[in-house]
Amino acid sequence: MPILSGVIPGAPVALSESDRKWLPTYLEQELTEALQQHEKKLEWIDESNRLYLGDPSNRRKTFPWDGAANLVIPLVGITVDSIVARIMNTIFAVDPFWSAQALIKDLEPVVNPLQDFMEWSRVNELDMYRQTRSWIVEVVKHGWGYMKVYWESFTQRSFAIQRGAARAVDSIVRRPKVQHVLLADIICQAGIEDELGQAEWVGHRIRLTDGQMLWRKHDKVYDNVDTILAHKAEPTPMEEKVLENELERKAPRWKKKLNTLYEIYADLPLAGSKLPVPVMVTYHHETREIARCVYNPDITGERPFKKGKFIDREGKRDGIGISRQLALLQEEISTLHNQQATMLRSRILDSSWDDAAWYATGRASGLVVSWPCRTPRTISPRSRWRIFTPLCSNWKHRASRTRNGGRALRIISLDANRTLLATGRRRPAH
């Protein structure tokens, strides 16, 4: 498998001695302030993901008793998935995806080959379907999201048999790239809503393996790589919660294997200029090291991020997504459902395990199943199976014959982890 070391090309900025002192201090102050504000956005992302997945806010309910109904109807998830499917079908159902038209007659022979090449590039190089789908999911769910469109250049190493031995062959690959950047990894300058047009800088948090860092050192792209490798960032609890795999929450804490850097696109007065110039700085926050500083690769100075909003808000950075629109409705529907389930169980158990007891009259045999209590209740024969069926479907139960021909029913409550013994006997004569 080829080893990739993808980087964005750019002309290096000739930093003066004063620039090398001022730039790390400026970035540390700005980034520290921005990351504190970023924690609030992470809290919303975590809440939005919870609504999408249908996870309850509390893992276990203790009211009106321990183990009460705690189901969440995933209204947000159902709605988001249906809208995303419609949007994706609208975009990618068009065939051909690219449509070319010759403006002069001499170019007509190359129109169809150009369309075929663009389609091949879309599938094999850009991976547009997967990147677009994950971006649209975030836009619809959270309300806004970012795509990054840039040009990358990397060293690809393969091996060939030469003179009877495998020898490394390096080649330089240059290609366009479309990437969905997670909302949790876009760091915006604090206090400014228009992060793409007005802010002095906007950052992309990138995470690289040690191997990727070593390739950047080999290609002379990053400086101070050895220092950065020795100081891996420790994520905050909220960062860990948002980015972790839900299936591995209870697993032992793993050793940090990724190096966290910030790719900052900024307009700063550097290299002797008294006016801000568009640059791209790769910064390591833990060591205050500048790994790279180049001029913005875009000749217009435009930053490579494209922002999408589900419902726009005038003068606001964030948009409104399905999570915010349907949060209260999902909570209301889930609460009503849990109340109905609780009321049904309350009828059966008389609202308390200690006082729970009732008589379920059997069929023609007159069999009575009772739970010991102070004040037993009688349920009509017609109601027995209507109430008993959901009861048995939720509990492990075992019935056995007794010597007098009656039934002994042992019921184990999974929720309360308590055991109640019910013994069947003939209904006494009145």
144 belongs to a structural domain: yes
DSSP 207-245: EE-HHHHHHHHHTT--SSHHHHHT------HHHHHHHS-
Q: Are residues 292 and 355 in the same domain?
A: no
Token representation of residue 301: 């100075």
Tell me the C-alpha distance between 292 and 299, whole Å: 19
266 belongs to a structural domain: yes
Q: At which of 277, 296, 330 does a domain end?
A: 330
Is the pLDDT at 33 greater than 50, yes or no?
yes
Tell me the C-alpha distance between 387 and 296, whole Å: 71
Q: At which of 300, 330, 360 does a domain end?
A: 330
In the structure, what pLDDT confidence band is assigned to residue 78 with cuts at 50, 70 and 90?
Answer: very high
108 belongs to a structural domain: yes
Report the candidate in 382, 387, 391, 378 with the shortest Cα–Cα distance to residue 428: 378
pLDDT score recorded for residue 47: 94
Contact between 155 and 215 (Cβ < 8 Å): yes
Mean pLDDT for the chain? Answer: 80
Sheet of 165-181: strands edge to edge?
Answer: 165-181, 144-162, 305-309
Q: Are residues 271 and 374 in the same domain?
A: no
Task: List, for residues 217-249, the tens digit of each pLDDT value.
Answer: 988 899 999 999 999 988 888 888 787 776 666
* Choice among 165-174, 187-196, 327-336, 368-377 with the minimum mean pLDDT: 368-377
Q: Are residues 172 and 35 in the same domain?
A: yes
In the structure, what pLDDT confidence band is assigned to residue 123 with cuts at 50, 70 and 90?
Answer: confident
Q: Are residues 122 and 41 in the same domain?
A: yes
Share of the chain above pLDDT 90, in %: 50
Q: Are residues 296 and 374 in the same domain?
A: no
Q: Are residues 282 and 364 in the same domain?
A: no
Tell me the C-alpha distance between 12 and 247, whole Å: 43
Tell me the three state secondary structure of residue 248.
helix
Is the pLDDT at 299 greater than 70, yes or no?
yes
Q: Are residues 211 and 322 in the same domain?
A: yes
Other C-beta atoms lying within 10 Å of the C-beta of residue 243: 15
In the structure, what pLDDT confidence band is assigned to residue 294 with cuts at 50, 70 and 90?
Answer: very high
Domain extent at residue 420: 350-426
Task: List, for residues 88-120, the tens digit of each pLDDT value.
Answer: 999 999 888 888 999 999 999 999 999 999 999
Question: What number of CA atoms fall less than 13 Å from residue 414's CA on the CB side?
Answer: 9
69 belongs to a structural domain: yes
Q: Are residues 315 and 373 in the same domain?
A: no
337 belongs to a structural domain: no
Q: Are residues 277 and 392 in the same domain?
A: no
Is the pLDDT at 174 greater than 90, yes or no?
no
- Please count the structural domains in the chain: 2
- Region 128-134: mean pLDDT is 94
10 belongs to a structural domain: no
Q: Are residues 149 and 289 in the same domain?
A: yes
Q: At which of 296, 330, 364 does a domain end?
A: 330
Q: Residue 286: which H helix or E strand, with range?
A: none
Q: Is the dihedral of CA 32, 37, 38, 39 positive or negative?
A: positive
Q: Are residues 149 and 200 in the same domain?
A: yes
Q: Are residues 193 and 237 in the same domain?
A: yes
